[in-house]
């Protein structure tokens, strides 16, 4: 596998080869790594390239992050939005590199992000809608501070979102997630929203619903 690209990654080649195959890019959560979501790869549709990227910031012992999360004296959490914006743009650069390296269809790119990876998936798709056509945002929320201004309206309307969250998520409150479908619908984006009686994770039913959405 070629690892001279901007992000270390794992690849599952499509089982059904076309001239150009669609891409699903998996973006893991804070403190995890590229192995995490790649465990889904075998169950994802056969015609896709499945790429799982490793976030650029190492978090010892075995994890990585897309951006730092800092705490103040009262244990309030703050995201490092500068790092988040850098990672947002790095993901876009990485997608361009993937398309240049593998026979991928640049007009059929789906992001599947979990938690921090989901927050960045919103930011990538809404800042660069011409690069992405679908997003599965699992257990995340919209951070408007990391979405660029130059949202191109006609490209934004082509996007489709699958948004899901655990109703007892102890890491990202479900109230934050519930704002996302309204936010993206107001941009004219087709959206499907699901909640599951779980914490901060992907329930089996969540995975099957996402799969059904992918196969539509």
The percent of residues in the chain predicted with pLDDT above 90, rounded, is 87
- CA–CA–CA angle 203, 164, 89 (5° rounding): 115
Q: What residue numbers bound the domain in which 146 lies?
A: 9-214
Predicted pLDDT of residue 132: 97
Residue 93 in this model has a pLDDT that exceeds 90: yes
Residue 90 counted as domain residue: yes
- Please give the helix or strand (H or E) that residue 85 lies within, else none: helix 81-101
Predicted pLDDT of residue 27: 98
Predicted pLDDT of residue 202: 95
Residue 1 counted as domain residue: no
What's the whole-number mean pLDDT along residues 16-25?
A: 96
Residue 2 counted as domain residue: no
What's the whole-number mean pLDDT along residues 19-35?
A: 97
Over residues 126-185, the pLDDT tens digits come to: 999 999 999 999 999 999 999 987 656 778 989 999 999 999 999 999 999 999 999 999
Look up the pTM and report it.
0.95
Residue 189 counted as domain residue: yes
208 pLDDT band (50/70/90 cuts)? very high
Residue 25 in this model has a pLDDT that exceeds 60: yes
B/e letters for 146-169, b = 16+ CB within 10 Å, e = fewer, are bbeeeeeeeebebbbbbbbbbeeb
Q: How far is CA 152 from the centre of its chain?
A: 20
Residue 167 counted as domain residue: yes
Over residues 103-133, the pLDDT tens digits come to: 999 999 999 999 999 999 999 999 999 999 9
The tokens describing 121, both together, are 């998936």
Q: Tell me which long-range contacts 179-182 makes (C-beta under 8 A, separation of at least 24).
A: 179/141, 179/142, 180/122, 180/137, 180/140, 180/141, 180/142
Predicted pLDDT of residue 1: 47
More reliable by pLDDT, 63 or 77 = 63
Q: Which residues contact 64 (CB under 8 A, 6 or more apart)?
A: 28, 31, 32, 33, 54, 55, 56, 57, 58
Residue 71 counted as domain residue: yes
Residue 75 in this model has a pLDDT that exceeds 70: no
Residue 3 counted as domain residue: no
60 pLDDT band (50/70/90 cuts)? confident
Cα–Cα nearest to 165, from 142, 190, 132: 142
The percent of residues in the chain predicted with pLDDT above 70, rounded, is 96
Q: Please report how many Cα atoms fall inside a 13 Å half-sphere around the Cα of residue 13, on the Cβ side.
A: 10
| Residues 147 and 177: beta-carbon distance below 8 Å | no
Q: What is the rounded CA–CA span in Å between residue 112 and residue 214?
A: 10
Cis peptide before 53 (omega within 30 of 0): no
Cα–Cα nearest to 180, from 126, 140, 129, 121: 140
What total number of domains does the chain contain?
A: 1
What CATH number is given to the structural domain containing 187?
3.40.50.1820
Cα–Cα nearest to 164, from 147, 144, 180, 188: 180
Over residues 35-56, the pLDDT tens digits come to: 999 999 999 999 999 999 999 9
The per-residue pLDDT of the chain, averaged, comes to 93
């Amino acid at each position: 596998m070629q690892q001279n690209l901007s992000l270390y990654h794992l690849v599952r080649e499509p089982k059904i080869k076309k001239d150009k195959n669609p891409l699903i890019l998996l973006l893991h959560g804070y403190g995890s790594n590229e192995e995490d979501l790649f465990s889904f790869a075998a169950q994802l549709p056969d015609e896709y390239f499945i790429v799982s990227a490793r976030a650029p910031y190492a978090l010892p012992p075995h994890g990585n992050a897309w951006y730092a999360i800092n705490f103040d004296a009262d244990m309030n959490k703050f995201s490092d939005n500068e790092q988040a914006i850098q990672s947002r743009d790095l993901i876009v650069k990485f997608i361009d590199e993937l398309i240049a390296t593998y026979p991928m269809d640049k007009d059929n790119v789906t992001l599947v992000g979990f938690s921090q990876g989901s927050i960045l998936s919103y930011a990538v798709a809404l800042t660069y809608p011409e690069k992405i056509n679908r997003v599965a945002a699992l257990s995340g929320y919209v951070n408007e501070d990391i979405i660029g201004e130059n949202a191109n309206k006609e490209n934004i309307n082509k996007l489709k979102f699958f948004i899901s969250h655990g109703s007892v998520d102890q890491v990202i409150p479900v109230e934050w997630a519930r704002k996302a479908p309204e936010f993206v619908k107001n941009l004219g984006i087709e959206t499907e929203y699901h909640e599951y009686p779980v914490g901060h994770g992907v329930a089996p039913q969540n995975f099957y619903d996402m799969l059904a959405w992918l196969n539509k």
